Amino acid sequence: MTASTTAERAVIAKRVDSGTADTEEITDLARAAGYEAVGEVTQKRTEDPAYHLGEGKVARLANVVAREGATAVIFDNELGPYQTYNIGNELPDGVQVVDRFRLILEIFGQRAQTRKAQLQVELAELRYELPRAEAKASLAKRDERPGFMGLGEYDESREEDIKKQISRIRDELASIEETEQHRRQQRRESGFDLVALAGYTNAGKSTLLRRVADDVDVDENEELHPDLDPTAESEDRLFTTLGTTTRRADMDQRDVLVTDTVGFISDLPHWLVESFKSTLDAVYRADLVLLVVDVSEPVEEIREKLVTSHDTLYERNEAPIVTVLNKTDTVDDAEIERKRAALSGLAPNPIAVSAKEGANVDALLDRIHDELPDYERERLVLPMTDETMSLVSWIHDHAHVDNVDYGDQVIVEFEGRSAVVERSRAKAGELVEASA
């Protein structure tokens, strides 16, 4: 079943240990998967080992499902296999029980268009299934009851099959990453700085990419966001794509490529983040990361997202991180300043913009220029040959040339990325040696 074929009616359920159960995000996720939320049931209590919710609340849930004609119950919690089975037994026939992470995997599966994205979804699904297969195997061996608790026939080879598939997918993803790393290196050698957009879903990353991007699509083989198509509007929708989209930034100062990546989601388990880490390599291997947040959200929510984002990014990222307070068109200046002060410990010197309206985007481009690694200056003295003219032309294409003096020798003064300078020196050395 794929929820995107029809808008299925779903009841949202959530349990919290304390406080108030906020169902806004899970409702958005359900909508992103193609469900229509027609009711909700929440509870504040410790987790029930058998039903997750209390038995009385499960009965209440069954009544709401029947009353609303729902075909699914979506939990904003992680359910164990036996909890899922027990809850399903209390609901009308044919009603699905979908926990938070199964829902996210549904969304990922619907949006995966590239081979890399499809592999990452498959890997996440297998990691989701593995502990359930292990639990089934353990109980079947202990109780000698195939199909224990209605979980299906026990197949002792299933656990091994999953592990072998995980290993195969990891190998294929490693091969894809090697190719992408080679592409990134080629771009650097061509004089490009690499900037990555990171942040939670619906923070406005894709809209910001549209705002700063030149018209040129850098790589036609990379997956293009639907909202980057000139005929499309940016959508208030989670997970427009699982792929990365890279565009040339519209900057005079230097050549920059900006890559948009899949948005973060709160409360993701380690196994799910790990499955998509190759998508985040575009962030980890960038020269600069723009961490985009929605400034209209409550300050505590922004703070929590910044902490989680920093934990994810600083694990492997060495590039500087600039926080971008987006959607300034939705709040007044006083609120922006209040939140800027409240978040100063996590986001020192952030830059506030409205990607939707284009406000302060020029200042953001200037900030990108300032934060990127400094260009190296070089002065080459070359023999007057046809090969030298080709090298000078190459330097013009990949660096910023300050001056070229044509006389008995060619003297070229320029500045550029270290990779470009090093390559220029190597070529210059070959030319000097050949003319000696």
- Regarding whether 168 and 30 lie in a shared domain, the answer is no
Q: Is 262 annotated as a binding residue?
A: yes
Global confidence as pTM: 0.67
Q: Is 261 annotated as a binding residue?
A: yes
Count up the domains in the chain and report the number: 4
Judge if 30 and 104 occupy the same domain.
yes
Q: From residue 283, give the alpha-carbon distance in Å to each of 180, 252, 322, 370.
A: 13, 23, 13, 19
Residue 411, both tokens: 């003297």
Domain assignment of residue 39, yes or no: yes
Residue 186 · residue 194 · CB < 8 Å: no
pLDDT in tens, the chain (436 residues): 444 456 799 999 999 999 999 999 899 889 988 999 999 999 999 999 999 999 999 999 999 999 999 999 999 999 988 899 899 999 999 999 999 988 988 888 887 777 887 888 888 888 888 877 776 666 555 555 444 444 445 556 788 899 999 999 989 988 888 887 777 777 777 778 889 998 887 888 988 998 988 653 434 334 433 333 332 234 444 444 456 788 888 787 688 889 887 677 766 666 666 666 666 777 778 889 999 999 999 999 999 889 888 877 776 667 889 999 999 999 999 999 999 999 999 999 999 999 999 999 999 999 999 998 888 899 999 999 999 999 999 998 888 899 999 988 999 999 888 888 988 999 999 998 888 7
What's the confidence (pLDDT) of residue 52?
A: 96
- Whether residues 211 and 284 share a domain: the answer is yes
Based on the fold, state whether residues 227 and 100 are members of the same structural domain.
no
Please check whether residues 263 and 288 belong to one and the same domain.
yes
Q: What's 98's domain CATH number?
A: 3.40.50.11060
41 annotated among ligand-binding-site residues: no
Q: At which of 109, 135, 166 does a domain end?
A: 109
Question: Residue 246: its pLDDT value, please?
Answer: 84
Is the residue at 134 inside a domain? Answer: yes
86 dihedral zone (left: phi>0; alpha: psi -120 to 50; beta): alpha
**Predicted local distance difference test score (pLDDT) of residue 250:** 79
Tell me whether residue 148 is in a domain: yes
Other beta carbons within 10 angstroms of residue 383's beta carbon come to: 15
Shared domain for 150 and 203, answered yes or no, is no
Query: Within this chain, do residues 98 and 162 fall inside the same structural domain, yes or no?
Result: no
260 is in an annotated binding site: yes
> Both 88 and 56 in a single domain?
yes
427 is in an annotated binding site: no
Q: In the listed set 316, 340, 371, which residue is the last one of a domain according to the structure? A: 371
Phi-psi region of 202 (alpha: psi -120 to 50; beta: other; left: phi over 0): left
Instruction: Examine the domain organization and report whether 237 and 352 are in the same domain.
Output: yes
Q: Is 204 annotated as a binding residue?
A: yes
Residue 339 annotated as lining a ligand binding site: no
Last residue of a domain, one of 338, 371, 404: 371
CATH of the domain at 203: 3.40.50.300
CA 198 to chain centroid, in Å, comes to 7
Residue 150 counted as domain residue: yes
Residue 389 lies in a domain: yes
Model pLDDT, residue 270: 65
Same domain, yes or no, for 123 and 144? Answer: yes
Instruction: Give residue 140's pLDDT.
Output: 57
Residue 355 labeled ligand binder? yes
Do 119 and 86 share a domain, yes or no? no
Q: What are the tokens at 427?
A: 């070529």
SS (H, E, C) the chain: CCHHHCCEEEEEEEEECCCCCCCHHHHHHHHHHCEEEEEEEEEECCCECCCECCHHHHHHHHHHHHHHCCCEEEECCCCCHHHHHHHHHHCCCCCEEECHHHHHHHHHHHHCCCHHHHHHHHHHHHHHHHHHHHHHHHHHHHHCCCCHHHCCCCCCCHHHHHHHHHHHHHHHHHHHHHHHHHHHHHHHHCCCEEEEEEEECCCCHHHHHHHHEEEEECCCCCCCCHHHCCCCCCCCCCCCCCCCEEEEECCCCCCEEEEECCCECCCCCHHHHHHCCCCCHHHHCCCEEEEEEECCCCHHHHHHHHHHHHHHHHCCCCCCEEEEEECHHHCCHHHHHHHHHHCCCCCCCCEECECCCCECHHHHHHHHHHHCCCCEEEEEEEECCHHHHHHHHHHHHHCEEEEEEECCEEEEEEEECHHHHHHHHHHHHHHHHHHC
pLDDT of residue 311: 79
Q: 55 is in which domain, residue-wise?
A: 3-109
Residue 385 is labelled as binding a ligand:
no
CA atoms of 123 and 278, how far apart (whole Å):
12
**Res 149: pLDDT:** 45
Is 328 annotated in a binding site? The answer is yes
Domain contains 185: no
Binding site annotation covers 227? no
- Give the per-residue pLDDT at 318: 72
Are 414 and 381 within 8 A, CB to CB?
no
pLDDT digits (tens, 9 = 90+) for 197-210: 988 878 889 889 98
Give Dmax over CA atoms of the chain in angstroms.
93
The annotation status of 329 as a binding-site residue, yes or no, is yes
User: Phi-psi region for residue 235, left (φ > 0), alpha (ψ -120 to 50) or beta?
Assistant: beta
Asked if residue 347 and residue 229 are part of one domain, the reply reads yes
Residue 183 placed within a domain: no
The predicted pLDDT at position 2 comes to: 44
Q: Is residue 186 part of a domain?
A: no
How confident is the model at residue 1, as a pLDDT?
A: 42
pLDDT score of 315: 65
Tokens 């592409």 label which residue?
183
- Whether 51 and 113 have beta carbons less than 8 Å apart is answered as no
Q: Token pair 């980890």 is at which residue? A: 284
Check if the beta carbon of residue 191 is closer than 8 Å to that of residue 416. Answer: yes
CATH of the domain at 402: 3.30.1370
